[in-house]
Structure 1
Amino acid sequence: MMQKYVPENENLTHYLFFTGKGGVGKTTTASATAVQLADDGNQVMLVSTDPASNLQDVFETELTNKPKSIKNISGLYVANFDPVVAANEYRESVIGPYRNVLPEAALKNMAEQLSGSCTVEIASFNEFSNFLTSPEIAKRFDYIIFDTAPTGHALRMLQLPSAWSDYLDKNDRGASCLGQLAGMGEKKATYAKAVETLNNPDLTTLMLVTRPQRASFIEAARASRELADMGMKHQQVIVNGTLLTHNDEASQAIFEQQQADLANLPHLLQNYPMSEVPLRAYNVTGLDKIRLLLKTKQPDIQSVEVYDYQYPTLDKIVADLVATDKKIIFTMGKGGVGKTTVAVQITKKLVAQNKTVHLATTDPADHLNFFKTADPAITISHIDEKRVLKDYQDEVMENARATMNSDDVDYVAEDLRSPCTQEIAVFRAFANIVAQDDSDVVVIDTAPTGHTLLLLDSTQSYAKEVNRSAGGVPQSIVDLLPRLQDPDQTEIVMVTLPETTPVYESMRLNDDLNRAHMAHTWWVVNQSMLATQTTNPFLQARAQNELEWIEKVKDISNNHFAVEQWQPNFEDKLLKI
């Protein structure tokens, strides 16, 4: 039996990185750890590096990328990276010193160089590096806790120190999307220190948060292996959401599934210290619930009357997608809400309506990789980041050699070694998927909300980057934004859970999509415990908490919604893992 996760008993290091698959409870676990450490008299900094962060929901306060003290928690400061704000500040830090010094045309050229999509990534990363390497911050706080983006993007972020350090070692022209006047030497020293700090087991611990489910364990093991290969070998595992009581069909199914998956834990994870956070009967939002999460004594649970709620299912949405003859369908939402499984369900139901479907993903974690099918009506594509990067670099170099002198070719080759190039290559692959015409419909399982919005918002700046490095913009990129904004072609299906944070995140996504003029009629409330009509008092308490959020979705969507019932090992069964 695992011991309970108690922060003060864990011999924690100065820097803590909470990472894992979307929806495993990274933010709540990191927040509860931060609060408990602060309550014990420590000075604590909690930083989110996730563009779709919900720290503001957890602490019920507005946050920025600057540390903010939290009311009624002495010693706790919280920061929430805003990529857009960080990019603007980064751009001004580069251009500002040259105002009234260089001609306006030169300043405009610098601004153009720094308006590329990868500037957002660099700016956010520089903010992260500052918290990781600043002597002042290190001295001020006893613990610095990072709540990271879901695994695929967290891996990307944690790889950047080595990537940029290596790039700057080889870069002798000042090329790339960093900009020619961005202070290469200073950044090189910062990135080298970041690498050293991340790989120092006396300073940094990787906290692998996982649900007691096979798919989540697989993701945690993948992250563990990749980060260990990078040098982050000091790791421990937190299993979040273990069910302790079971007395009806639903609770027994959950318990048996969890115990079976724990019994078959990947060998790699067995090498690390492991602890558990039991499933709670309440949503962890607000300071009172955060403080309660890791306590041994929990409030008593009262039985409630079970009602038979009849909600529409995903079949209603698919019928509308067929009737309106949609060509491009996205599933979007916060990490862990089940976007991949909903995308697969929609695909299967469309095929049952005699449609051919191209199923794809933009998520680096690529959970779609688990889905196997022999159905000829379904084609599946995965963006292999290493392959598309090499293909893009080879293509650009071939064009450069045919049209440029040797010095310019060397400049292009140097530029293509920039870590930003991978983002451009992946974006172009995404545009090609949207442009495909080998099927009646393309269904795209997206990355978690924040990263998807950055990708969609950056279509024009990505086009500039492609044009700058490749010397031309493919038609697929030219057509991309108009197609995404055409409601006759495109539908975005919003996927959420019947819980506070996922619904709030979907509401923010709803507003962002409105501003981007992208069609989004339908919502799916996924994995509803309320729909199971469980009689287990513990699960009933959770189910009753869902009702408020299902009704909110019903109202926001103008009754364009569906509710999918919770199922044990739902992801495993659907994706045929």
Structure 2
Amino acid sequence: MADYVFFGGKGGVGKTTVASAYALKCANAGLDTLIVSTDPAHSTADVFDQELSDEPRSVEGIENLRAMEIDPETEVQNHLQATKRALGEQLSPAMANEVDLQIEMAHQTPGAYEAALLDRFIDVMREADCDRVVFDTSPTGATLRLLALPDLLGKWIDRLAHKREKSIDYFEMAAIGNQEPRRIREGDPILARLSKRKERFEFAGEALKEASFYLVCNPDELSIRETERSIETHREYALGVDGIVINRLTPEPDPDERGRGGRFLRERVETERERIEYIEREFEPPVVAAIETRVREIKGSLLEEVADELSVEPVRTV
């Protein structure tokens, strides 16, 4: 099974850059690596200067590296159609239209986006034929809701299965004479589907417990506060955070820069140093990189530089 590494954080902090740099670092170390973007912004294609799709594609010019971009909206629609097909096989035509309407409404409710994305996550994790899968995730809130789903949905499946078993028991009790019930528990297709779903969620739950999680933040108060909340939420879900990446630090000016711009940069650098010290002092996860802002978009040789700055060794686990 592949190793899974997740990069998360507030929107706009540079998760895609950091995740791409780490994936490059792994590939350069000889690991067969897949980077998966689930961020609706889809900047991974921009980083590698090539078109990507929802299926893995080799990254041009980089050995051992493939990339893919999952479109959450497409996954919601795929999930909707798959649910309709599965239930349609178990229902009478008279009920099908009403069920379709209920399913359409359910997919507009909070959580539908994450549930659909979780299914795609599970497919990617189970089918990955590589050493390392790097996930560039959606902004913090959506990702944390996603990570909570395996346990939540597993318990929900248990309750549905229990109700289904009780309904079969009642049906058998109501059978007349020696007439066989139309369905028995051992061959019930709905119970079989629920069992299959539960197995998928159990796999996801175990895989996430073994995965590595890194949070990316900028040296500003809003980003730092969200990172603190994210660490606490990970703890509540029994998921650790392996490290913090501080991105987009202000470069320090040269000593002879005495103008207004130089003064601004020095004050900014001093403020950021205080915030880095706060993170190192107050946060339990270690700081694994402090990355300066670049003048140009980070790709090509600049991506190599960022990869070198990440103190996350791409060691193959046993």
TM-score bracket for the superposition, by shorter chain length = 0.7 to 0.9
- The aligned counterpart of 1:163 is 152
- The aligned counterpart of 2:239 is 232
- Displacement after TM superposition at 1:155 (Å): 1.1
Relative distance call for 1:197 and 1:279 in structure 2 (3 A) is: same
Relative distance call for 1:280 and 1:295 in structure 2 (3 A) is: farther
Query: Aligned partners of 2:80 and 2:224: how far apart in 1?
Result: 40
Q: Deviations over 1:356-400 (max 9, x none)?
A: xxxxxxxxxxxxxxxxxxxxxxxxxxxxxxxxxxxxxxxxxxxxx
Relative distance call for 1:56 and 1:194 in structure 2 (3 A) is: same
* Counterpart check, 1:183 vs 2:193: yes
Q: Deviations over 1:159-183 (max 9, x none)?
A: 1111111222223447xxxxx8993
- The aligned counterpart of 2:216 is 209
- Displacement after TM superposition at 1:187 (Å): 1.5
Q: Is the 8 A contact 1:244 1:278 kept in 2?
A: no
Q: Deviations over 1:436-456 (max 9, x none)?
A: xxxxxxxxxxxxxxxxxxxxx
Q: The residue matched to 2:18 in structure 1 has which SS?
A: helix
Aligned-residue CA RMSD (Å) = 2.8
Relative distance call for 1:188 and 1:92 in structure 2 (3 A) is: same
- Displacement after TM superposition at 1:65 (Å): 2.4
Q: Percentage identity across aligned positions?
A: 26
Q: Is the 8 A contact 2:114 2:142 kept in 1?
A: no
- Displacement after TM superposition at 1:150 (Å): 1.4
1:117 maps to a residue whose letter is Q
Q: How does 1:261-300 map to 2 (within 5 A)?
A: 261-265=275-279, 267-269=281-283, 271-295=284-308
* Counterpart check, 1:47 vs 2:36: yes
- The aligned counterpart of 1:117 is 108
Relative distance call for 1:108 and 1:84 in structure 2 (3 A) is: farther
Query: Aligned partners of 2:86 and 2:230: how far apart in 1?
Result: 41
Q: Deviations over 1:415-460 (max 9, x none)?
A: xxxxxxxxxxxxxxxxxxxxxxxxxxxxxxxxxxxxxxxxxxxxxx
- Displacement after TM superposition at 1:268 (Å): 4.5
Relative distance call for 1:163 and 1:283 in structure 2 (3 A) is: farther
Query: Aligned partners of 1:106 and 1:214: how far apart in 2?
Result: 53
* Farther-moved stretch of structure 1 (61-70 vs 24-33): 61-70
Query: Aligned partners of 2:4 and 2:149: how far apart in 1?
Result: 17
Query: Aligned partners of 1:107 and 1:286: how far apart in 2?
Result: 50
- The aligned counterpart of 1:574 is none
Q: Is the 8 A contact 1:284 1:290 kept in 2?
A: no
Q: Is the 8 A contact 1:51 1:149 kept in 2?
A: yes
- Displacement after TM superposition at 1:129 (Å): 2.1
Query: Aligned partners of 2:287 and 2:228: how far apart in 1?
Result: 13
Query: Which structure's relative contact order is higher, taking Cα pairs within 8 Å and 6+ residues apart?
Result: 2
1:280 maps to a residue whose letter is T
Q: Paired residue for 2:120, among 106, 124, 127?
A: 127
Q: How does 1:230-379 map to 2 (within 5 A)?
A: 230-246=237-253, 247=257, 248-265=262-279, 267-269=281-283, 271-295=284-308
Query: Aligned partners of 1:275 and 1:285: how far apart in 2?
Result: 19
- The aligned counterpart of 1:383 is none
* Counterpart check, 1:57 vs 2:28: no
Relative distance call for 1:189 and 1:282 in structure 2 (3 A) is: same
Relative distance call for 1:63 and 1:104 in structure 2 (3 A) is: farther
- Flag structure 2 segments of 5+ consecutive residues without an equivalent: 165-189, 310-318
- Displacement after TM superposition at 1:17 (Å): 0.9
Q: The residue matched to 1:240 in structure 2 has which SS?
A: strand
Q: Deviations over 1:455-488 (max 9, x none)?
A: xxxxxxxxxxxxxxxxxxxxxxxxxxxxxxxxxx
- Flag structure 1 segments of 5+ consecutive residues without an equivalent: 1-12, 175-179, 297-577
Q: How does 1:7-86 map to 2 (within 5 A)?
A: 14-86=3-75
Query: Aligned partners of 2:151 and 2:273: how far apart in 1?
Result: 39
- The aligned counterpart of 1:329 is none
- Displacement after TM superposition at 1:113 (Å): 3.2
Q: Deviations over 1:264-311 (max 9, x none)?
A: 237551x32322243133333544442343347xxxxxxxxxxxxxxx
Relative distance call for 1:281 and 1:49 in structure 2 (3 A) is: closer
Q: How does 1:439-454 map to 2 (within 5 A)?
A: none
Q: Deviations over 1:20-41 (max 9, x none)?
A: 1222211100011112211232
Query: Aligned partners of 1:194 and 1:262: how far apart in 2?
Result: 34
Q: Deviations over 1:493-534 (max 9, x none)?
A: xxxxxxxxxxxxxxxxxxxxxxxxxxxxxxxxxxxxxxxxxx
* Counterpart check, 1:92 vs 2:105: no
* Counterpart check, 1:197 vs 2:169: no
Q: The residue matched to 2:279 in structure 1 has which SS?
A: coil
Relative distance call for 1:105 and 1:144 in structure 2 (3 A) is: same
Query: Aligned partners of 2:87 and 2:200: how far apart in 1?
Result: 23
Q: How does the TM-score come out when normalised to structure 2? A: 0.75
Q: Is the 8 A contact 1:63 1:79 kept in 2?
A: yes
Q: Deviations over 1:329-366 (max 9, x none)?
A: xxxxxxxxxxxxxxxxxxxxxxxxxxxxxxxxxxxxxx
Query: Aligned partners of 2:86 and 2:140: how far apart in 1?
Result: 37
Query: Aligned partners of 1:295 and 1:151: how far apart in 2?
Result: 25
Query: Aligned partners of 1:266 and 1:245: how far apart in 2?
Result: 20
Query: Aligned partners of 1:120 and 1:22: how far apart in 2?
Result: 17
Query: Aligned partners of 1:217 and 1:15: how far apart in 2?
Result: 25
- The aligned counterpart of 2:169 is none
Aligned residues between the structures:
271
Query: Aligned partners of 1:90 and 1:237: how far apart in 2?
Result: 33
Q: The residue matched to 1:281 in structure 2 has which SS?
A: coil
Q: The residue matched to 1:127 in structure 2 has which SS?
A: helix
